[in-house]
Amino acid sequence: MENQGTHILVIRAITDRKARYLTAKKLTQLFRERSFSEWKTKLDSGGGTVVMRADKETDLEPYRRSIELLGAEVDIVDQKTIGGAKVF
C-alpha cells in the first residue's frame, strides 16, 4: 500500500455488516501488510477509510473496481493542502 501520492482511494462508511466483512477480507488479500482484524476494525469504526494513495488516478482503478464489486462505496479524491497541512 502506498502512503504517498496526490490521489487517494477512500471507502465510504459501510452499513451492512456482511459487506464490511467481505470488504475487509478483500483488502487483506490486496494489501498483505495489514491484517484482517486491522482492516475490519477500521471499517467497523465508520466514516471513510483510506485504502491507498497514488500519483496517477489510473493506478487506483483496478483496486476501486474490485472493492466496488463487494458492494462498498468507493471514491477517489484529490489531495489538497490547506494552511500547509495535507487534507482531502
- Per residue in 8-46, pLDDT (tens digit) is 999 999 999 999 999 999 999 999 999 999 999 999 998
Nearest by Cα to 5 from 87, 82, 78: 78
Nearest by Cα to 10 from 25, 27, 34, 32: 27
pTM over 0.85: no
**Percent residues over pLDDT 70 in the chain:** 86
